[in-house]
């Protein structure tokens, strides 16, 4: 049975709109008590990336957000990888199954999504307050996924047949997350990138459609891994590569 890291303040809610919003709204009260984990049994307004909704029914998923400080903007590029790697290592440890990373931070099992990460930051002159929200599908049955998600989503219960308790998963996830965050804080970026590349191996040299969020443009190319700076390397027609820092693989 895992315990929470002793330095972590844990806030357990029965319900909220979004654990990311909770951290944003309570930043002033919490800033002297960081790092903080906020976890909720259900979310009424769970949010995903690209303004999507993250359905968050009670007892089905893990809905948690870490709030902590980072000292430089340069480190922010690696945060999605840190979150994705942490979820993967935690899931691999409890199931011995093959979970993989779809850049920047989706976690997949046999090409279906089991977890997602929403990172939001409050940048002040001295510090960056980072909010890393993590959603993991734990106890969903096939009936719990609306039609359009059946093809592309999966839960731990569908994989293993077992039920999971967020009271056990959250401390484990926190321990792994702060292990990797410490590496980021102490600038061990190479290890983060190397690990993320290892977990992305399944996509290597495959054709992908990449949706760049800054321009809204969709580009076709070949996934060529993650560069030293956390960016996606897209091999383009004609043989040249482009590097991307915001967006997602379709
Ligand atoms: C994605 O689109 O893949 C990201 C999903 C992130 C969902 C989590 S659940 C906890 C936290 N609170 C939110 O409203 N969103 C994140």
Q: What is the DSSP string of 64-108?
A: EEEEEEES-GGGGGGHHHHHHHHHHHHHHHHH---EEEETTTEEE
At residue 45, the pLDDT reads: 98
| Residue 244 beta carbon below 6 angstroms from any ligand 1 atom | no
At residue 125, the pLDDT reads: 78
- Among 17, 63, 246, 247, residue to substitute to test ligand 1 (most atoms within 8 Å of Cβ): 63
Q: Are 62 and 170 in contact (CB under 8 A)?
A: yes
Distance CA 167, CA 170 (A): 6
At residue 13, the pLDDT reads: 98
Distance CA 177, CA 89 (A): 9
| Residue 22 beta carbon below 6 angstroms from any ligand 1 atom | no
Domain boundaries for CATH 2.30.30 within the chain: 204-249
At residue 68, the pLDDT reads: 98
- Among 54, 66, 120, 249, residue to substitute to test ligand 1 (most atoms within 8 Å of Cβ): 54
Distance CA 117, CA 139 (A): 18
Nearest atom in ligand 1 to 46's CA: 14
Whether the ω angle into residue 35 lies within 30 degrees of 0, i.e. cis, is yes
Q: Are 157 and 93 in contact (CB under 8 A)?
A: no
Nearest-CA residue for ligand 1 atom 15 is 47
Q: Please tell me the CATH code under which domain 204-249 is placed.
A: 2.30.30
Nearest-CA residue for ligand 1 atom 11 is 133
Distance CA 69, CA 141 (A): 37
| Residue 80 beta carbon below 6 angstroms from any ligand 1 atom | no
Spacing, Cα 130 to ligand 1 middle (Å): 14
Q: Are 92 and 99 in contact (CB under 8 A)?
A: yes
Q: Please tell me the CATH code under which domain 9-199 is placed.
A: 3.30.930.10
At residue 39, the pLDDT reads: 98
Q: What pairing do the DSSP bridges indicate for beta strands 9-13 and 207-212?
A: unpaired
Distance CA 212, CA 28 (A): 33
At residue 57, the pLDDT reads: 95
Nearest atom in ligand 1 to 52's CA: 2
Nearest atom in ligand 1 to 106's CA: 3
Spacing, Cα 87 to ligand 1 middle (Å): 13
Residue 81 structure tokens: 């990888």
Nearest atom in ligand 1 to 40's CA: 10
Domain boundaries for CATH 3.30.930.10 within the chain: 9-199
Per-residue pLDDT of the chain (250 residues; tens, 9 = 90+): 789 999 999 999 999 999 999 999 999 999 999 999 999 999 999 999 999 999 999 999 999 999 999 999 999 999 999 999 999 999 999 998 999 999 999 999 999 999 999 999 999 878 899 999 999 999 999 999 988 888 999 999 999 999 999 999 999 999 999 999 999 999 999 999 999 999 999 999 999 999 998 888 999 999 999 999 999 999 999 889 999 999 999 8
């Amino acid at each position: 049975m895992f315990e929470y890291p002793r330095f972590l303040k844990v806030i357990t809610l029965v319900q909220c709109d979004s654990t990311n919003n909770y951290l944003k709204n309570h930043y002033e009260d919490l800033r002297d008590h960081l790092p903080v984990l906020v976890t909720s049994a259900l979310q009424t307004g769970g949010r995903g990336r690209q303004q999507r909704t993250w359905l968050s029914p009670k007892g089905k998923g893990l809905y948690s957000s870490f709030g902590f400080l980072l000292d430089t903007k340069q480190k922010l590029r690696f945060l999605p990888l840190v979150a994705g790697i942490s979820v993967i290592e935690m899931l691999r440890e409890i199931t011995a199954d093959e979970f993989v990373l779809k850049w920047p931070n989706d976690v997949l099992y046999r090409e279906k999504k089991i977890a997602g990460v929403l990172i939001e930051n409050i940048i002040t002159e001295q510090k960056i307050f980072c909010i890393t929200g993590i959603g993991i599908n734990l106890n969903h049955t096939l009936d719990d996924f609306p039609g359009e998600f059946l093809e592309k989503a999966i839960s731990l219960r569908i994989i293993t047949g077992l039920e999971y308790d967020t009271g056990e998963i959250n401390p484990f996830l926190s321990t792994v997350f702060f292990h990797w965050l410490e590496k980021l804080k102490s600038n061990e970026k190479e290890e983060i990138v190397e690990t993320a590349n290892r977990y992305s191996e399944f996509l290597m040299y495959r054709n992908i459609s990449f949706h760049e969020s800054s321009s809204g443009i969709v580009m076709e190319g070949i996934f060529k891994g993650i560069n030293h700076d956390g960016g996606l390397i897209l091999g383009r027609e004609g043989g040249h590569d482009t590097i991307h820092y915001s967006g997602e693989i379709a």
